Amino acid sequence: MALPPLTNPVKQKLAAGGTVLGLGVRMSRSAEIARIARATGHDFLFIDVQHSLFNLETIGHIAQAAVALGVAPFARVRSVHDAEVQALLDNGVTGIVYPDVNTAEDARAAVAAVRFAPLGRRSVTGGYPYYDFAAVPPAEALPAVDAMTFLACMIETREGVANVEAIAATPGIDVIHVGMNDLLTDMGKPGQYADPELQAAIDRIIAACRANKVHFGCGGQRDPKAQAAIIRRGARFLTTQTDIGLLSAGAGAWTRGIQAALEAG
């Protein structure tokens, strides 16, 4: 039986000129989060390995469920030197988000871990879950897996902004993603989203993305109106909110609703 071609819904939507939205995953430990993402209009999971206590097996289970449901499972790893990237990619994760990319050397290290030769140094295995573990000849499997795999590099420091043109010019990157909270903290201005230095940095990152035909992404400010504004400005890859944030907001709104109803008699 012929296997269907591999696809990544995020890469497809971006190629068509669309905007993709990701649900941050920090607390959930089962495949249900992929179903919730799909039902709520999210295109990808942003599994936050950097700030959470996931193990590899849990990530693999969530990722393989997400792939089957048509939601792209991406993992934000701990650094460009994270040794678990290979295992994540070989067991269901279809994209890697690298935090704190500050130089072209960092960007090349990211590409080397995620891409097969000749562009990178990703090791070859057999029985990829994207093919339901079927044996597929390497000449067919490797180009398809490589084309499906997504790579984002995050700019989170003044150094990263200063080097963004060289970072964006590194072959093999799909998205340059600005982490506003870390960037503002590096600037000594935490939470000051309207600050002119941040706004100038965003303009510079957008220009570097356009010049190198990579997509601009943004995360950090958890306000729907602000997220709509950055989409209008050119962002095509956004994280909306985390599972923790959504649960806390919903639970708080509910108890406040009960209290308000009691006070109203």
pLDDT confidence tier of residue 2, bands split at 50, 70 and 90: low
pLDDT confidence tier of residue 153, bands split at 50, 70 and 90: very high
Q: Calculate the alpha carbon distances from 215 to 59, 129, 165, 264 in Å.
A: 26, 27, 13, 50
Q: Tell me the per-residue pLDDT of 233-248, one tens digit each, with 9 for 90 and over.
A: 999 999 999 999 999 9
pLDDT attached to residue 5:
84
| Helix or strand run (H / E) with residue 138 | helix 138-148
Tokens of 133: 């573990």
| Annotated catalytic residue, options 51, 61, 81, 177 | 51
Determine which of 8-17, 84-93, 133-142, 152-161 has the lowest per-residue pLDDT on average.
133-142
Distance CA 115, CA 102 (A): 20
Q: State the DSSP code for 204.
A: H
pLDDT (mean) for 57-72: 97
Distance CA 205, CA 160 (A): 10
Average pLDDT, the chain: 97
Q: Which residues contact 145 (CB under 8 A, 6 or more apart)?
A: 6, 116, 128, 130
Are 50 and 18 in contact, with CB atoms under 8 Å apart?
A: no
pLDDT attached to residue 55:
96
pLDDT confidence tier of residue 71, bands split at 50, 70 and 90: very high
Q: Calculate the alpha carbon distances from 188 to 139, 183, 197 in Å.
A: 50, 9, 11
pLDDT confidence tier of residue 4, bands split at 50, 70 and 90: confident
Residue 67 corresponds to which amino acid? V
pLDDT (mean) for 183-208: 98
Residue 166 has pLDDT above 90, yes or no: yes
pTM score above 0.85: yes
Residue 1 has pLDDT above 60, yes or no: no
Q: Tell me the per-residue pLDDT of 211-233, one tens digit each, with 9 for 90 and over.
A: 999 999 999 999 999 999 999 99
The alpha carbon dihedral of 117, 121, 123, 128 has a sign of negative
Are 245 and 27 in contact, with CB atoms under 8 Å apart?
A: no
Is 51 one of the annotated active-site residues of the chain? yes
pLDDT attached to residue 41:
98
